[in-house]
Chain A
Amino acid sequence: MINLAYKDIKHSLGKFVATSMGVGMLLGIVLIMIGVYRGMVIDAQVLIDDINPDLWIVQEDTLGPFAQSSRVHTDLRDTLKVLDGIDKTAALTFEGFQIDVNGKAVKVYAVGYDPLGEMSAINPKRLIKGRAILKEHYEVVATDKIGLKLNETIRLGRDEYRVVGITHGTVSSGGDPLIYLSLKDAQKLQFLYSNFRVRNDRLRGIKSRANDLVNCVVAKAKKGFNLEVLAKEIAKYRHKSVYTQEQERIILTKNLIKMASKQIGMFTVILIVVSTIIIGLIIYTMTLEKIKEISIMKLLGVPNSSIIKMIVQETLVMGILAFFFGLLFSHLIYDKFPKRVVLQNHDAAALFAIVVAASLIASLIGIKRVISANPAEAIGG
């Protein structure tokens, strides 16, 4: 039996492939959008996974340090150690600012940690060049995306810093590249006022103890201790808000990027709807172009089922071809985006299912036209 769809596609192969490529680019953008969302979720977790504590201790009644401003005293790091279940602690600062790299302003997110402390903020696996910070002053480790070279010096605040290490894939929850500083340098950058301001504050009777502050303290629990119980104990007696690693993950992934993910979700849905409409319109136009032939076929006695089968098969082939073009397109361009784009197989599989369903829906428009085509038009001229 002659496969009408195959014959028609073969007859106008160039046009069919070009149209599929056009729709494919649209689907590629859909995959990229999903990839941007996945990238955001992964970015949001890079920092907390690299530090990987059991507990996050932040300013009381806040969701800090990422979702809300939080300040706690540095010595909380030491006083926590008296608790039975606490094994290791670290005081951390986080601050976003702009640096000058070869004349270009680059937004970065600075992580301050004690290089001589018990817990490091740098995951050694991510260090691709140089070393971690070993001195308490004037050393930084920077993400490769910033464009800094090893041993290059950069100016932060009032001081010059030397790049001693380069990391790869380290970003903040907002996708900004990270730089790592010693805790003392980070505190100085974030909390130290100018001499004029200190003098002014003293005259007002304000005693500046800003250098004693950090944004949070993280802790590793000893094995066998219940994290929930420990968190409750710290919150009760130290008057702090305490989150387990999983709770912090939820704050970052479910709450902090919720709006952004909704936005991307909306774009993705709109793009899928637009793609469906475009496929529908293309199929409708293709059907209209063949309406004379369809009328002739109906007049000759070709059943509707054979003509509908042709339309559905062509729509499906176009949808599937467009999907694979989209997949190829997205894989060719995803690493050109400034922020992380993560293409996952299960997202592609879901989009494939959507494209197949959308193609079937789109073919209904063509089918409707086929059914309404009057065979009398063929001889009626």
Chain B
Amino acid sequence: MDTAIKTEKLVKHFGKGDTLVEVINDATFEIKKGELVALIAPSGAGKTTLLMMIGCVLTPTSGKIWLGNELVYDNKWLTKEQRKIRREKIGFIFQAHYLIPFLNVLENVILIPELNGVGEAKAKEKALELLDYFGIKDKADSMPANLSGGQNQRVAIARALANNPEIILADEPTAALDSKRSVDVVKMLKKIALEQNTAVIMVTHDEAMVPLCDRVLTIKDKKVYNLAIDEYKNRAIV
């Protein structure tokens, strides 16, 4: 399998001098395309910080990041347009759906593809395909405020997939869902990872989701470990 995300000696500090806080001191790992990886760590361990660095939102203190075959960070961003990288390579899913409230379902899904230069007709066709896949095609013209939480979350996932991303970063997508729906969403992410050959990193606190994933990223003492499911279960390293 091809590499989707690779990091090398990734470090993130906040502040300086007496107020310096080390959050991540060594993150060296590799995630392949088609993998669903759970990112599990206690609160405050640096999960979101790690996710934001991979997502080109937060600038690391040092280290290297590859997205696909492209080295995007080598002690500095190698492109001025991190936002373009996000738009073209990454799909985001959040705990809350965070749909744009003044756009209807279809417009929320086609917003990023259109900005990437995909024609309106093609973007709509793909969006409707995705909405159909998630069983909410009939809601294409509805406003997010008129949908249920579960429907909105499915729209958010469709939006994350609309730009054919190489990577999906999901920040606690199941936190607001009951256990049955949580399992459904994780299974859906697994299916997407396989069918679209996409790497999915999913932040979660729910240990029950771990068996559904391919690997586990965890953070202990500011160091990031990339573990197989069995290794994580046995707590061999952590």
Could you tell me which A residues sit within 8 Å of B by CB distance? 1-2, 4, 7-8, 10-12, 292-293, 296-303, 306, 375-376, 378-381
Contact = CB atoms under 8 A, between A and B. Distances in A.
B103 A301 contact: no
Contacts of A297: 100, 111
Interface centre among A4, A300, A375 (most CB of B within 10 A): A300
Given A376-B58, A379-B51, A380-B48, A302 B101 contact: no
B171 interface: yes
B123 to A, nearest CB: 10
5 smallest CB-CB distances across A and B, nearest first, come from A301-B87, A11-B102, A301-B86, A8-B102, A296-B98
A379 B112 contact: no
B41 interface: no
A375 B98 CA distance: 13
Given A7-B103, A379-B51, A299 B57 contact: yes
- Main secondary structure, interface of A, reads helix
B98 A1 contact: no
A306 B102 contact: no
Contacts of B48: 379-380
Interface in B152-210: 159, 171
Interface of B: 48, 51-52, 55, 57-58, 83-88, 90, 92, 94-95, 98, 100-103, 107, 110-112, 114-115, 120, 143, 159, 171
A107 B98 CA distance: 67
Contacts of A302: 83, 87, 111-112, 115
A300 B52 CA distance: 12
Contacts of B171: 379
A375 B171 CA distance: 14
A2 B103 CA distance: 9
Given A297-B111, A301-B86, 19 more contacts: A1-B120, A4-B102, A292-B98, A293-B98, A296-B98, A299-B55, A299-B57, A299-B92, A300-B86, A300-B111, A301-B84, A301-B88, A302-B115, A303-B84, A303-B115, A376-B58, A378-B94, A379-B52, A380-B48
Contacts of A296: 94, 98, 100
A293 B100 contact: yes
A375 B111 contact: no
Nearest to B115: A302
B112 A7 contact: no
Contacts of A292: 98
A1 B114 contact: yes
A296 B143 CA distance: 17
A300 B111 CA distance: 10
Contacts of B95: 381
A376 B52 CA distance: 7
A293 B115 contact: no
B86 to A, nearest CB: 4
B230 to A, nearest CB: 30
A298 B87 CA distance: 9
B180 to A, nearest CB: 25
12 contacts: A2-B103, A2-B107, A2-B110, A2-B114, A8-B102, A292-B98, A296-B94, A296-B100, A301-B85, A301-B90, A375-B83, A379-B51
A314 to B, nearest CB: 11
A341 to B, nearest CB: 40
Nearest to B143: A11
Given A7-B103, A293-B100, A379 B94 contact: yes
A379 B92 contact: yes
Nearest to A294: B100
Contacts of A293: 98, 100-102
Contacts of A378: 94, 98
Contacts of B83: 298, 301-303, 375
B115 A306 contact: yes
A293 B103 CA distance: 11
A6 to B, nearest CB: 9
Given A301-B83, A302-B112, A11 B57 contact: no
Contacts of B102: 4, 7-8, 10-12, 293
